[in-house]
Structure 1
Amino acid sequence: MAITDWPLSERPREKMLQLGTQALSDAELLAIFLRTGIAGTDAVGLARQLLQQFGSLRALLGASKAEFCQARGLGEAKYVQLQAVLELSRRFLQQQLQRETVFTEPALVRKYLSSLLSQEQREIFMVLYLDNQHRMICAEPLFQGTIDASPVYPRIVVQHALRHNAAAVILAHNHPSGVAEPSRADRAITERLTQAMALVDIRVLDHFVVGDAEVVSFAERGWL
């Protein structure tokens, strides 16, 4: 049965318009992006097959071009469209943060960092530079490393913070394992960076660790 033959309340587009995006499953959201299915399978069915094939929505969205285009029902045009959607989402969140006071919008910061880092297969350490009203000046990835670690040098972080004339910073990095729980090394480098920044009168407001389904805040843990 084609989706157009489904009851209106069950069609992904109509369901979204009536109940909002949060009411849709991963497969239903993906089906709206796909628009059409393949022979013998509607768009929702194809979406379910793709999620099963890749293992998760995260894996599908983070797939390489070659992996993505080899999947049945996908191709280069869909890959380009998906990358454009992801980048639009990142830019939207970044522009929101540039207008808002970052320190009072932790949920928005989490969404932004997750959009940037949750798909990365290597550990990326980045810094959000803030002005004296805690609005974001820019976000900059500074270090990247192996799948297990990223070398972080306080001297480099201080240099870049001064270059951007930052009054405060938020630190962030991802755990490619998907587990966001901070390690002892994470806590140690945060302490070193906080001490180094204090010497030039720049505050470290928070350090976020990004995993698959969770973003941990050092400030919320009482570690800053």
Structure 2
Amino acid sequence: MSVAAIPELMIRDVHIEDRPRERLIRQGAQSLSNQELIAILLRTGTKQESVLTLANRVLNYFEKLHELKHATLEEIISIKGIGEAKAVQLLAAIELGRRLSQKQVDSRYTIRSPKDAADYLIPEMSSLRQEHFVVLFLNVKNQILHKQTIFIGSLNSSIVHPREIFREAVKRSAASIICAHNHPSGVPTPSPEDIEVTKRLLEAGFIIGIELIDHVIIGDHQFISLKEKGYM
């Protein structure tokens, strides 16, 4: 039986083979629950509570696991039973996970389909709490030369200025661009504003000679391509 099912027990009361660290060694990290993984990072509980209880409290505080990505030191310390040392351990693990999930532009990641663009952007953008409008600048081989956040806030045509985007594209000697933005609601359905902005950028790119390949909307680990939907 998983330790996650019995959070009221102290670790010393759990059979040694069912303790998180021992199970990880024997069965691999993928076999552990989120609660057990966090418990390993926290290492110890308090005199009154088990480390599993503390781990469960962390999960309850942030509601969704991916919200931990944006946790601050102050937020974690505010959780009962979590001091500065434990909070620092959690933040270090979160930052390592963030760095591992992000594909590096230096590797010349190639975009062959809308899914490639979404796979590149989702790890960073799917859990953002505000809308971010991002542009990928590509070379003639559809390899990413540069990624830049153009603005943060609600999307509308008066805020997204083609000149800012295409000035950067010329500076980077980009052959084409892909635009993307996230919907904090988690639902990537395009709004009328999304479609209007896309058409405006498409027209500007045609005049300048730098093609807008796609506009991808990122939701909660899902996406919609406006090109695939016929808006381009």
TM-score category (smaller protein)? 0.7 to 0.9
Counterpart AA for 2:152 = Q
Q: CA offsets per residue over residues 121-145 of structure 1, 9 Å max, x none?
A: 3221111112222222221111112
Q: Distance in 1 between matches of 2:13 and 2:119?
A: 34
Q: CA offsets per residue over residues 101-155 of structure 1, 9 Å max, x none?
A: 2335835x4354233223433221111112222222221111112xx44621111
Counterpart AA for 1:134 = N
Moved more, 5-14 or 180-189: 5-14
For 2:133, which of 125, 138, 153 is the aligned residue?
125
Which residue number corresponds to residue 219 of structure 2?
Answer: 211
Which residue number corresponds to residue 183 of structure 1?
Answer: 191
Q: Distance in 2 between matches of 1:105 and 1:213?
A: 14
1:51 positional shift: 1.5
Counterpart AA for 2:110 = T
Q: Distance in 2 between matches of 1:13 and 1:117?
A: 35
For 1:102, which of 106, 111, 115 is the aligned residue?
111
- Output the aligned Cα RMSD: 3.2
Q: Distance in 2 between matches of 1:105 and 1:89?
A: 24
For 2:172, which of 132, 154, 164 is the aligned residue?
164
Residue 137 in structure 1 maps to residue 134 in structure 2: no
CA shift in 2, pair 1:141/1:54, >3 Å: same
Asked if the contact 2:136/2:145 (under 8 Å) is kept, the reply is: yes
Q: Percent of aligned pairs with the same residue?
A: 35
CA shift in 2, pair 1:199/1:149, >3 Å: closer
Residue 14 in structure 1 maps to residue 23 in structure 2: yes
Task: Please report the TM-score for the alignment, with normalisation by the length of structure 1.
Answer: 0.78
Which residue number corresponds to residue 47 of structure 1?
Answer: 55
Equivalenced residues, count: 220
CA shift in 2, pair 1:74/1:132, >3 Å: farther
Counterpart AA for 1:51 = L
1:30 positional shift: 2.8
Q: CA offsets per residue over residues 63-111 of structure 1, 9 Å max, x none?
A: 344322211243444554545444444444322783432335835x435
Task: Please report the TM-score for the alignment, with normalisation by the length of structure 2.
Answer: 0.75
For 1:154, which of 156, 162, 165 is the aligned residue?
162
Residue 33 in structure 1 maps to residue 41 in structure 2: yes
Q: Distance in 2 between matches of 1:12 and 1:195?
A: 57
Which residue number corresponds to residue 57 of structure 1?
Answer: 65
Unaligned runs of 5+ in 2: 1-9
Counterpart AA for 1:179 = V
Unaligned runs of 5+ in 1: none
Moved more, 129-138 or 82-91: 82-91
